[in-house]
Chains A and B, each alone.
Chain A
């Protein structure tokens, strides 16, 4: 019966989102961007890595909607592929960080005492090292690649999430229905799975959505420093970063990837805000 109730809750969330324009519009835009990046290859007859040295740095036109880059590659095609990588870099590490942060936060709140102290100090350690430096240490250790960018972003983000989840868990634990469950003699694991986790879901959804923009921006910062995604792979941040020399002579090179970054960051921000209003996971300065 409880399970059924949860399904209903999921459906309720979806229905509420569909009704709420503040959530619907950014949601639709995100879906369009995802569709563009998935079906991108159908929209272009260029290859994202094929070079054309005779036609480098061409202005828009001549079959190149956004012109060509420093090696004569079609910028439009590269934005489509770059969006794919950037979405991956936005979604995957954020999801992993939320999972890790959730596990850490719940454990800290549940087991209290030494476990709590150790987990929270670990989170503090992560939060006390400036994210960019921590990411750089990881990237230098592992070498620049998609995998290492994902790992470094998870490392940066989980700590903050753990802190929020811990507070939320403590709040839920104090609520009447959990106390009631505990008093009926339900096991700790059962309480955690049946009562605490389901009630954390709204918090986690909002945390997930609101952390995505910072993942996108961090990736672009790392790519600017030349240690994020590496060629021949392409991401929006890498494109924007490597166009810095041409920013003012050939603005089309930076504009397309930067515009896409803006669209993604804003959409996820608005979606996150709207979800917070809909789900109302409480005020914890998410």
Chain B
């Protein structure tokens, strides 16, 4: 089965530009004719992932794989890692700094939202090395 691979670099430190990768991905998914609500789920996950990488990890890379059955989004960064994954998954928990909070981010909804809008979420993290968050969104057949 054919798999499409899309790669988007995410710039660190730029909260205003965050969301660009998700916009670009969205346009591609629309051109492929994927169901609208699937596109929306993927886009929300990607956006949250982008914001996370900008706030916590000084950017990184988003890798997207699309095949007939599912969309896999991998948000890969080499930031500080997540010391307590369980806590990070709680709604309302955030370690975002004051700058991000001033802009309205840091509500602690990033990872919980990614979980809510995906069919599977895995977090692979090492403190001091980096984090890879992988979400899978299944495409109904």
* A and B assemble together: no
Interface residues, chain A, CB within 8 Å of chain B? none
Interface residues, chain B, CB within 8 Å of chain A? none
